[in-house]
Structure 1
Amino acid sequence: MKLPFLLVLSAFSGTAWANTVELGQIEVYGKKQAEQLAVERKSRAQIEQELIRDSSDLVRYSVDVGISDGGRHNKGFAMRGVEANRVGINIDGVALPDMEENSLYGRYGNFNSARQSIDPELVRDIEIVKGADSFQAGSGALGGAVNYRTLNAQDLLLPGQRFGAMLKSGYGSRNREWTNTLGVGAHTGRFDMVLLYSQRRGHETESAVKGDDTYGSARGLPDPSKHRYHSYLAKFGFQIDEAQRIGASVNGQQGSRYTKEYSYALFGSQWRDADDKHSRFNGNLHYEWMPDSAWLALLRADADYQKTGLDAVNYKGTRNWNTQVPELDEIYDRRINSAYKRLSLRLDSQPLRWGGEHILSFKVFLSRRDFETVNYDTIGVGRSWQQQTMSTIQYPMKTTQTGFSLLDNITWNRVFSGRIGARYDHEKVAPKDLNAPCSTACLDEGKPAGNSFSNWNGLIGLNAQLNPAWQIGYTLSSGHRVPTASEMYFTFTNPYGTWQSNPDLKAERSITHTLSLQGKGAAGDLDVNIYQSRYRDFLVEQEQIIATPNPYYDQCAWYGCPQYDQTPKHQMVNLDKARISGIEFTGRLNLYRLLPVGEGWKLSGGLGYSKGKLSNETSLLSIQPLKAIIGLDYEQPEGRWGVFSRMTYRGEKKPGDAKVTEISGSRGNLVQNVVTYPWLNSSATVFDVYGYYKPLKTLTLRAGVYNLFDRKYHTWDSLRGINANSTTNSVDRAGKGLARFYAPGRNFALALEYKF
């Protein structure tokens, strides 16, 4: 631990050389505005340089940010101690739908519980906002948000071009994935457009350790899989006159991942193949007016539409006892569909002088989201009694939302600036009529009552520019998350457990305080953030042990069987409070400003550490262990080539920070205890090297070698996704199955891009 920590500190040692090195001047006069704190930005150049191909690549060099890894299904991001639906994901300002999952179906893996996403090939920049951000992102941004913006025409054009095209091909060895992209763009002054198509095809991500090639939870190799994803983007814009512009865009993705689940663990001869499918379509129409006005700078009206689908087609059966050949018995086709429509209006003011300079931004919006599940199950495949049924696990839902927000960007003088904002959201959830037959427990409860949620969120940011190089700031922000349909309305009854609905749930709430220090100048830059996030009305699945009459007591009483069975009851409740505190800093030094080395040498570093727990003495497993990064880079001044190196230290998860509840015992004598999570990662240090070379201004070759020294290690995100009581993504008691959860060993990535 000591070496990486000292190396990271050395990345910022230049800040202590104030007597000999002055940071460059930063002009803060005029319309200098307060910046949003604790925001990490990835530009198009960084996305390409770091060979970012998915969400795990995106956070590879981010401190205090992880992913929510569920095995077959990536469930989003983890930051500020929370994950999945508690971290918003937006594409061009439109939120992706929440993941819908309950612990019952999560054990069996029959549903596709992944979070929707966007291919980085379609993206021009990414913002990772750390801390509560419902003022900007709405419901779901309890711990932060990840905001994607799609490519524009200029991103595909060379300098001076009006028309252009791009061809790109890439390969990654860790999952034998090929990526091929074709795009065209035009920018003629009044008209601009971009068309882009990208395809990915690959296999399972390899593990650094080769375990046993067997069946069941003791399997030591990743389950074989194949995937193919298709992504597309189209944008058109037209400048009507100097003040008016209209535009339209569509982007989306569809694809499937077919997995031979050799690690499936129901009982010995059972097998399952899973075909996880996803589809997403986003469309937008907008109008902009920038009048010659003393008070109005911009009017923008948007109409957005989004349609998503998550399917899981499960092929199940048994292996012939003699030949071990799989025989198909059942096909479970489980579908989750959602549709979203939104109208919004935005008004931005010109600078207004009321005891300082104010720039106001007002937004008003109206939206509707529809959600449903439907199952198409076929049993007795190939038999005379083959039968297909259609069903659903809960009532379809309609959610309507109205709201508005007002933001004031203030500049009082050359030193002080600020951001003050307020937002109101009203969301009404209303069950619709059943779209298919439902379970007995679902029907017994009848059509549930609706619910409504009214939430105010705010933002206060104050900055002080101490001198041209140094700035301190404070931000107070809030967040909320409305419960999902599954959390409120799912119900199921079974002798081995009961899942009870709770339509009276409240929205989760969060508040984040952030203190920051920023330094920017010719010698480099430094960002230090100290934060505390508080959560209340935290939604957890409460497990209680209940006694139910044993239906077979009269027949087995003389055997000594219990009159009452003890079974766990599961219900979502607003139970806990949580508090997470931490510190993170990142920095970059231009070494040629400090040392006798050539221009282009840079030293970078980062450190993230956080700690916290729930009010019931259990832990938030999504809190990331300590992570430290240091990099040494060289980029040729003319931009012809560059080489970048990264050393990443991943800290261990300590037992005291991984406490969970566990129910154990027999059917008639169950006990609930707080125990240490059984699978903890050890610390590891990993080295990466990547770079680019441009033999021509139109041609760029990029390459990277990751885990250069072939380190064998687990990430905390992969281990905490293991489901102990599950038929999928589980391990055996002896721990042999942990071999398939190792991070990839030494691997490489290549990309070739040609613009013309």
Structure 2
Amino acid sequence: MTQKPPYPVRVLAVLLPLCLSAPAVAQELTELPTLEVTASTPTQDDTLQRQTLLDQQAQNLSDVFQSDAEINIGGGGNPIAQKMYIRSMEESLLNLSVDGAQINSKVYHHQTALILDPQLIKQVEVEKGTAAASAGPGALGGAIRYQTVSARDLLRPGQTIGGSVTGSVFSNEGWRSSANVYGQAGNLDALLAATTMRTDDYQAGNGQTIANSGTEQANYLAKVGLQLTPQQRLSASFQRSSDEGVRTARANMIGFAHPVLPNDPIPQSLARDTATLNYSGQQLGWIDAANATLYRSEVESERTNKKGRSWGESLTTQGADLMLKQALGEHLLKYGLNWREEKSAANRIANPYGLTGTGSESMRVWGGFVEGEANWASLTFTAGLRYDDYSYTDNHRQNYTSDGVSPSAGVRWQATNALQLRAGYAKALRGVGLKEAFILDIAQWKNQPNIEAESAHNTELGFSYQQGGLSLAGNVYRQIIDNYITTFSCASAKGGCRGNLGRATIDGYELSAQYQLSDWQFGLSVADSRPELDGRKFNDGDLGLGTSTGRTWVSKVGYRLPAQRLELGWMGRYVEALDYLPVGGKAEQTKAGYGVHDLYITWRPLAKDTLRLNLTVKNLFDKHYYDQATYAYNGWQGKVLGYPEPGRDVRLEASWQF
């Protein structure tokens, strides 16, 4: 039975009413600026804005993160097969959240952990490397926070009710449509949004049609906000995302073939329902700012084989987060609590191999953190500390507990008005937790009894420079992950064991430059990481850990014509070739390098921007290539298993806002 942490829940229950009632005694109700505390890690983080995603007609994860040289998306053109890698680390090492709802564990390693229509995104915050104490428990490789739009984001000045309809067509191959309606009445605002996307089997750059790559996606968002006072807001949201289609049983390995383990094309689906309740407030008596979130998320995966057997996995996550902020003169402080429960299950187990186990698992983690910033003249010191306590019961009724403290610290020196130097260190702990839910239907994979918690350490040096229209930034880092937990062959279990494998080390850097000249924008960035597991390079079989990719360059040019209400952009992404030892290989292979170019033109012909027309061309020169983060060459089968990337795709979109 999953243990519920009474302490965090009691604190949340007590503090939330206090936060709501505190300002009732205030003399004045005025809108005050948000109190921010800089994270206690020096990572070179990014924030992606909604307008950028709209201009580039982003459809999936690959489109969302293509402009970031430190992020690779493998899996080809089928959204269900795409996986994210930051600094060579897989998304399963990150804290992923949508509107504050954590979505972390995996259901099926051949598919993505998250589907979300980019048209519903307001912004994406990316925290790279071991995250700050405030990022929550278990953020070994960083955090990605998706925030969806609300009615207040879409209403134009003076508007109380509005809506929009959008239609897109893609030459390679499909269409997308969406409709939104939103409004505000007094202190209440609400949004209803729906999008549908249908794609057929796409063509790669060599003209080959990729069988079983089509998909049907639906995304729905309902959000209600209540402005309690000028300083306090309560909001609730519900989101549903679904993806279904006929694809090979191993959705990311269309080339996999085995005489015993079939890889037939079969119907598959993935659906996620996420509900959140959020309270935020400022100037609440002795508290300068507070944020509290309750959430629940349910993920269902289902497959039906040619013999008619339906099976799949489910994952339920619920939790609560509380963060309080205070200003102490020139210094800043934030502290809070986190609680999360997860339950996973393999659905409709057929037990074809005489397997044992309950088919379900549960875990819980609760923790607290404190993070501060001290400012003295040109020096800023940051520090954080969090404590986490994990409990886990596996499908063989084995119980695991782990706990620990994770410190972080950093310093920033404003050397000149233009130049800032920074350095820092962060540690994160992730206790023993849920297996991938798919494994619960293959119960021979058994946890070893002595698994230790994973821990990550990140040391980072960086700088930023801004003078006039020129901006420069850079980071170098060393990331270490100890006691990495994975599955492997062993003599003590029939199918294999799950336990600690070894130490992963990643050395890398990122450099970027941007220049603004009147209506022109120029950008160039480069990133390189060198990941090793116990002395060997990561390979595509290190599922749950990461993969190796070549040095990556991204170049961008943008131009605005205000009089014509036009915006034009070009982006190139170049990945250098990489030598590595593939899974099952006896000799090194080369992951081929490639360069891909995208263009977009956005025209807003009407004065109030109610009409937006967009032309985007992806892979302008019809390049045939495999993203280096895709599961590629397999030495045992002697061929590439994963999807190639789509060839040229011309996308036309029209959006009317009323």
TM-score calculated relative to the size of structure 1 = 0.74
Q: Is the 8 A contact 1:510 1:535 kept in 2?
A: yes
Deviates most, 640-649 or 567-576: 567-576
Residues 223-280 of structure 1: CA deviation (Å, up to 9, x unaligned): 2344222211111122233444322211121231223778563459988332221121
Write out aligned runs for 1:59-208 (5 A): 59-69=65-75, 73-74=80-81, 76-101=83-108, 113-133=111-131, 135-174=133-172, 176-188=173-185, 190-208=187-205
Return the alpha-carbon distance in structure 1 between the equivalents of residues 153 and 341 of structure 2. Answer: 33
Write out aligned runs for 1:305-320 (5 A): 305-314=296-305, 316=306
> Is 2:574 the counterpart of 1:649?
yes
Return the alpha-carbon distance in structure 2 between the equivalents of residues 572 and 257 of structure 1. Answer: 31
**Structure 1 residue aligned with 2:513:** 587
* Aligned counterpart in structure 2 of residue 675 of structure 1, from 581, 586, 590: 586
Write out aligned runs for 1:333-348 (5 A): 333-348=310-325
Residues 97-122 of structure 1: CA deviation (Å, up to 9, x unaligned): 32145xxxx7xxxxx64313322121
Return the alpha-carbon distance in structure 2 between the equivalents of residues 639 and 188 of structure 1. Answer: 35
Question: Post-superposition shift, 1:716?
Answer: 1.0
**Structure 1 residue aligned with 2:233:** 245
For 2:613, the aligned partner's letter is: L
* Aligned counterpart in structure 2 of residue 749 of structure 1, from 641, 651, 655: 651
Gaps of 5+ in 2: 1-34, 541-546
For 1:530, the aligned partner's letter is: V
> Is 2:265 the counterpart of 1:277?
no
Return the alpha-carbon distance in structure 1 between the equivalents of residues 266 and 633 of structure 2. Answer: 18
1:390 and 1:695, CA in 2 relative to 1: closer, same or farther beyond 3 A? farther
**Structure 2 residue aligned with 1:54:** 60
1:475 and 1:569, CA in 2 relative to 1: closer, same or farther beyond 3 A? same
Gaps of 5+ in 1: 1-30, 107-111, 212-220, 317-329, 380-388, 433-446, 549-566, 593-598, 663-673, 726-731
Write out aligned runs for 1:93-492 (5 A): 93-101=100-108, 113-133=111-131, 135-174=133-172, 176-188=173-185, 190-210=187-207, 221-259=209-247, 265-267=257-259, 272-291=264-283, 293=285, 295-314=286-305, 316=306, 330-349=307-326, 351-353=327-329, 357-375=330-348, 394-413=358-377, 415-431=378-394, 447-486=396-435
Q: Is the 8 A contact 1:299 1:347 kept in 2?
A: yes
CA RMSD in angstroms comes to 3.3
Return the alpha-carbon distance in structure 2 between the equivalents of residues 491 and 230 of structure 1. Answer: 28
Residues 132-151 of structure 1: CA deviation (Å, up to 9, x unaligned): 11634434532222210111
Residues 546-591 of structure 1: CA deviation (Å, up to 9, x unaligned): 6x9xxxxxxxxxxxxxxxxxx996323313112211111122112x
For 1:402, the aligned partner's letter is: W
Return the alpha-carbon distance in structure 2 between the equivalents of residues 76 and 741 of structure 1. Answer: 12
Give the % identical residues: 20
**Structure 1 residue aligned with 2:618:** 706
Question: Post-superposition shift, 1:540?
Answer: 4.0
Helix, strand or coil: the match of 1:585?
A: strand
1:616 and 1:531, CA in 2 relative to 1: closer, same or farther beyond 3 A? closer
For 1:369, the aligned partner's letter is: E
Return the alpha-carbon distance in structure 2 between the equivalents of residues 281 and 489 of structure 1. Answer: 19
Q: Is the 8 A contact 1:618 1:660 kept in 2?
A: no
TM-score calculated relative to the size of structure 2 = 0.84
Q: Is the 8 A contact 1:75 1:99 kept in 2?
A: no
Helix, strand or coil: the match of 1:155?
A: helix
Q: Is the 8 A contact 1:426 1:455 kept in 2?
A: yes
Residues 144-194 of structure 1: CA deviation (Å, up to 9, x unaligned): 2221011122322223323221111223333x2311111122245522222
Q: Is the 8 A contact 1:340 1:370 kept in 2?
A: yes
Q: Is the 8 A contact 1:179 1:199 kept in 2?
A: yes
Paired positions, count: 610
Larger Rg: 1
For 1:570, the aligned partner's letter is: G
Return the alpha-carbon distance in structure 1 between the equivalents of residues 47 and 433 of structure 2. Answer: 29
Residues 383-434 of structure 1: CA deviation (Å, up to 9, x unaligned): xxxxxx9998653112122111112133222x122332111111111247xx
Question: Post-superposition shift, 1:59?
Answer: 2.2
Return the alpha-carbon distance in structure 2 between the equivalents of residues 85 and 568 of structure 1. Answer: 26
Q: Is the 8 A contact 2:539 2:583 kept in 1?
A: no
Return the alpha-carbon distance in structure 2 between the equivalents of residues 516 and 450 of structure 1. Answer: 42
1:290 and 1:648, CA in 2 relative to 1: closer, same or farther beyond 3 A? closer
Return the alpha-carbon distance in structure 2 between the equivalents of residues 628 and 575 of structure 1. Answer: 32
Q: Is the 8 A contact 1:204 1:225 kept in 2?
A: yes
1:224 and 1:303, CA in 2 relative to 1: closer, same or farther beyond 3 A? closer
